[in-house]
Amino acid sequence: MNMITVKDGTQIYFKDWGTGQPLFFHHGWPLSADDWDTQMMFFLERGYRVIAHDRRGHGRSTQTVTGNEMDTYAADVAELVAKLDLKEAIHIGHSTGGGEVARYVARYGKGRVAKAVLISSVPPIMVKSEKNPGGTPVEVFDKIREGTANHRAQFYEDITLPFYGYNRPGAVISQGVRDNWWRQGMMGGIKAQYDCIKAFSETDFTEDLKKIEIPTLVMHGEDDQIVPFSDSGPLSAKLLKHGTLKAYPGFPHGMPTTHAEQINADLLEFIKS
């Protein structure tokens, strides 16, 4: 397996296929690089170099007890990017991965990153507060913590329904998609995934977004039940110097899977522009 050992001894698994301009994919919680299979195949066939990693504590990477927060996630990416010597890369993040992209690009991306994409992503900040009155109450994240810590296997089955919009009237449910989400989630370490809930819900990416100077596409489904549209996509696009918002009426949080054909086409258009 392709592995890099970062400075604290954690091993980070990654895939690196093809040649051409590099596209670096950052997965959501609590998944792995495998969540990008459809996108990686699509862009590999079109002459791009496609890279995706398992965030520390997730997938095939070390099941870490420490470093399960955004600063370390971004630093891990920076080490991997340096090892692979990626230049003119486009970084694409889904959900928690979008937060990772924002922090990485803001802190380490200068001279290496050409464009960025935030899909169904957690920035600017998810949790409700006086500064973010439209956010999600912390009690919602406490329930996610409780489910993860105490009955992870069943909780990870249940969360796939709102994740993919499969709880909506008339939804065509793919059991394979649900099983694949569960498989990826259960591969990772429970402690790291538990800690990551705080990282994706409470990290404030406002200053990161303000620092990003490259063209950035913000893609968000208007029926996202995990990262609500009104408190994420439009706000991120406004904070970015060169941000473009593309909204998708009726699309769920997991739209790169449920609507891969549309998402891939729009990604390709942005990458080529």
Q: How many helices (H) and strands (E) does the chain have?
A: 11, 8
Neighbours of 155 (CB within 10 A): 17
Neighbours of 1 (CB within 10 A): 8
Q: Active-site residue among 32, 95, 121, 236? A: 95
Would the CA dihedral through 157, 159, 163, 164 be positive or negative? positive
Distances from the Cα of 70 to the Cα of 46, 133, 223, angstroms: 32, 23, 26
Q: Is 85 a catalytic residue?
A: no
Q: Is 273 a catalytic residue?
A: no
Would the CA dihedral through 50, 126, 192, 139 be positive or negative? negative
Contact 117, 272 (CB under 8 A): no
- As to burial, measured by CB atoms within 10 angstroms (0-12 exposed, 13-18 middle, 19+ buried), residue 180 is middle
Cα 202–chain centre separation:
15
Q: Active-site residue among 53, 58, 91, 253? A: 253
- The residue to which tokens 């249940």 are assigned: 158
Q: Is 253 a catalytic residue?
A: yes
Start-to-end Cα distance in the chain: 34
Q: Active-site residue among 26, 224, 232, 259? A: 224
- Catalytic machinery residues: 95, 224, 253
